[in-house]
Amino acid sequence: MFIGHFGLSLAAKKVAPKVSLGTLFIATQFVDILWPFLLVFNIEKVAVTPGYTKMNALEFVYYPYTHSLLMGIVWGAVLGIIYWLFKQDVRGAIVIGICILSHWFLDLIVHVADLPLTPFSDDKVGLGLWNHVAVTLIVEAVIFLAGTFIYITFTKAKNNIGKWGFWSLVVLLLLVSRPLKS
């Protein structure tokens, strides 16, 4: 999943209006932000394998600390608690935790069977939508556009800078979230 994660962030703003959109973006992308650091330190592993899926050439060899279901729950709980400690916003903390965990469920739809359930087992799952490019693009676009629609129906920009800034962000996300060639 690429742009779909951002769609969920936009929709989550309705449920947690006190949480900044930037914080929600970080929450839904948290494991993908952490993942490269674990690659650099050789804790997790990825290979570039042309044709691995029709959407991209990344073969996720070993990434149980960022992308397993169990660690999604752990990261969500830990970062939700940290948010609560700083902001004393229970709803925001819960939404942040759910956004972090949502990453695994959205990835489940698109990944082939390479998503670990826990760091302690070899069980892996994935529905493989990345092998169906057109369907993947439609699903991601629907999630992103639905999130954008939810966001704009309850959030109003304070001025033209806010309005144009938001729509510039939407266009930027659409441009940078196109599929990688295998």
Instruction: Please tell me whether the overall predicted TM-score, pTM, comes out greater than 0.85 for this model.
Output: yes
**Three-state secondary-structure class, residue 49:** coil
Asked whether residue 182 is assigned to any structural domain, the reply reads no
Q: What is the mean pLDDT of each run of 10 residues along the chain (182 residues)?
A: 93 97 97 97 97 93 98 98 98 98 97 97 96 94 95 89 90 78 46
Asked whether residue 181 is assigned to any structural domain, the reply reads no
Number of domains in the chain: 1
Asked whether residue 106 is assigned to any structural domain, the reply reads yes
In angstroms, rounded to a whole number, what is the distance separating the alpha carbons of residues 16 and 89? Answer: 9
The whole-angstrom distance between residue 68's C-alpha and the CA centroid of its chain comes to 13
Task: Give the model's pLDDT for residue 182.
Answer: 42
| Amino acid found at 114 | D
Asked whether residue 131 is assigned to any structural domain, the reply reads yes
Boundaries of domain holding 60 = 3-176
Task: Give the model's pLDDT for residue 177.
Answer: 77
Asked whether residue 165 is assigned to any structural domain, the reply reads yes
Task: Give the model's pLDDT for residue 175.
Answer: 87
Closest CA to 5 of 125, 106, 138, 111: 106
